[in-house]
A = this chain, B = another copy of it.
Amino acid sequence: MDKEQEILAAALKLFVEFGFHGTPTSKIAKEAGVANGTLFHYFKTKDDLIVALYNRTKETLTAHLAAQQRDGDSLEERMKSIYTASLEWGLENRPQFHFIQQFHFSPHAARISDEDKERQTRLHAGLMQQAREDNIFKPLAPELIGSLLGSHVYGTHQYLVNADLPKQERQKVIHETFALLWTMITK
């Protein structure tokens, strides 16, 4: 892992544990095994580091979700695959998942460019569009469906993190909650 990655990994770990406020850049550098100045060689400011960390983390997640998509899958299968992969990734990358939410409710959220936002939601937006064309959703605002979908993932994730079930039971919960979600939003 090169130094830039080391810095990002260290920042992630410390931000989740101590918050943005509670983690000085000096501690990040130390944890990354790197000099103070090196951090600022890769990221002009601490804020830049925070935003970059968010964008890359989100990018990793979206790439993972996209990789699960199979040609020939139905819309429901595709959505279930995204839902499942989101939760599994969130459970195997808990700090990352937590950081994404932490970032979302921080003032830094406003600093994400429209371009990055578009890239990070393209996959979901595409499927939503398809679903509308196929007319399979209940007559609700698409933004509402999107919000409910997202929060359903977060809610299930929260439960799974607290419950800490064995893998098989976890799978079962993921299947069940998707079924609940699907009957909730489709006709």
Contact = CB atoms under 8 A, between A and B. Distances in A.
Interface string A114-156: 0000000000000000000000001011011011111110111
Q: Report copies per complex.
A: 2
A157 to B, nearest CB: 9
A185 B156 CA distance: 13
B144 A107 contact: no
A183 interface: yes
A148 B156 contact: yes
Label chain A's interface by main secondary structure.
helix
Contacts of A106: 19, 102
Interface residues of A, number: 41
Interface in A20-40: 20-22
Nearest to A158: B147
A138 B176 CA distance: 11
Nearest to A161: B147
Interface of A: 17-22, 98, 101-102, 104-108, 138, 140-141, 143-144, 146-152, 154-156, 158-159, 162-163, 173, 176-177, 180-181, 183-185
